[in-house]
Amino acid sequence: MGLTIDLQAIVANWQALAARAPAARAGAVVKADAYGLGAAKVAPALYAAGARDFYVALASEGRVLRPLLGGDARIFVFGGHMPGDDLTGLIPLLNSPEQFFRDRTLRRGEPFGIQLDSGMNRLGMEAAEWGAIRAEALAAEPSLIMSHLACADEPDHPANAAQLAAFRAMTDGTGVPRGLSATGGILLGPDYHFETVRPGVGLYGGLPFAEARPVVTLSLPVIQIRDVAAGEFVGYGATWTTDRPRRIATVNAGYADGLHRALTGSGACLWSDGHPAPIVGRVSMDLITADVTDLPRPPDVLEALNAQQTVDDLADRAGTIGYEILTSLGARYPRRYV
């Protein structure tokens, strides 16, 4: 019952992605609580499997992880060095000359990295900003120079080659370890690998790593099953009406638990021993109704995520991406790590 997270599958996905970039040092992106799956469990499991580079969005996320990992683990912070950050034992990826000077004033001698903008225009120094501090930054021996691809999940998108060229132009000859690729970039091939790679979503079973092992199973307890006569409605707004007598199961989970209200009428199903039970009526905050008429036996539990319905399947139904399904998974489910 609840959310089952397969740590062995996460480790296997990390090993499989690392094997796609054999010349690079593979880290793991564990921001946003390891995409909602629990960084305090995921990061130590990956450390035990040999991962030594971890990436978070915020210094506060790094603070939580630092005591859970060995001293040889490096924890990089994408957000860089913001005023008031406690970066002890962490490695900020400095995003602007302002961050660079703040960091070098407050943390002289401590490790740092540089994040460059190669075209995404989200985070990182522009070529001119980098040029202005480059000599001073290189003299201080950064641990890593990295950038991020905007379209790596679309292998034919021209932005990939353009960003690769821009990144090379800014970093060739620096002699500093480089990193450009997350999950999608790893799959683009060796030109994109450099010395480090940093997969995120692929570790957690999501696209664009199509060969990923599924990581999450979400089993929901059935509270009630009722027989509904033809012509009656189910749920808020009376938006769904039975065409014939139907058996309806109500499970204890809803949009407050990350099962988006947009799943209403989407064709998404709940599952019992491999058999689908279509979600009918509106998804409410704590409850979902499913049509179990055609199941071989009345279910005690119904699954929302399993091998038949992955995070990306559910995301398609809800009009979003697997990343958002994962990071929305609520805190109300009992969690079990296997």
Ligand X SMILES: *Cc1c(COP(=O)(O)O)cnc(C)c1O
Q: Which residues are annotated as a binding site for substrate?
A: 122, 285
Question: What is d(CA 60, CA 236) in angstroms, rounded to the nearest whole number?
Answer: 40
Nearer to ligand X, 104 or 148 (CB): 148
Spot the catalytic one: 31, 35, 192, 333.
31
> Which residues of the shown chain bind ligand X in the complex (CB under 6 A)?
29, 31, 78, 148, 182-184, 198-202
Nearer to ligand X, 63 or 198 (CB): 198
Nearer to ligand X, 100 or 255 (CB): 100
Closest residue to ligand X: CB criterion: 200
Nearer to ligand X, 29 or 269 (CB): 29
Nearer to ligand X, 200 or 276 (CB): 200
In the complex, minimum distance from the CB of residue 78 to ligand X, in angstroms, rounded to a whole number: 5
In the complex, minimum distance from the CB of residue 198 to ligand X, in angstroms, rounded to a whole number: 5
3-state secondary structure the chain: CEEEECHHHHHHHHHHHHHHCCCCEECEECHHHHHCCCHHHHHHHHHHCCCCEEEECCHHHHHHHHHHCCCCCEEEECCCCCCCCCCCCCEEEECCHHHHHHHHHHCCCCCCEEEECCCCCCCCECHHHHHHHHHHHHHCCCCEEECCCCCCCCCCCHHHHHHHHHHHHHHCCCCCCEEEECHHHHHHCHHHCCCEECCCHHHHCCCCCCCCCCCEEEEEEEEEEEEECCCCEECHHHCEECCCCEEEEEECCCHHHCCCHHHCCCCCEEEECCEEEEEECCCCCCCEEEECCCCCCCCCEEEEECCCCCHHHHHHHHCCCHHHHHHHCCCCCCEEEC
Spot the catalytic one: 41, 55, 236, 333.
236
In the complex, minimum distance from the CB of residue 31 to ligand X, in angstroms, rounded to a whole number: 6
CA dihedral 325, 326, 327, 330 (to 10 degrees): 90
In the complex, minimum distance from the CB of residue 3 to ligand X, in angstroms, rounded to a whole number: 19
In the complex, minimum distance from the CB of residue 202 to ligand X, in angstroms, rounded to a whole number: 6
Determine whether 41 is an active site residue.
Answer: no
Point out the residues that are catalytic.
31, 236
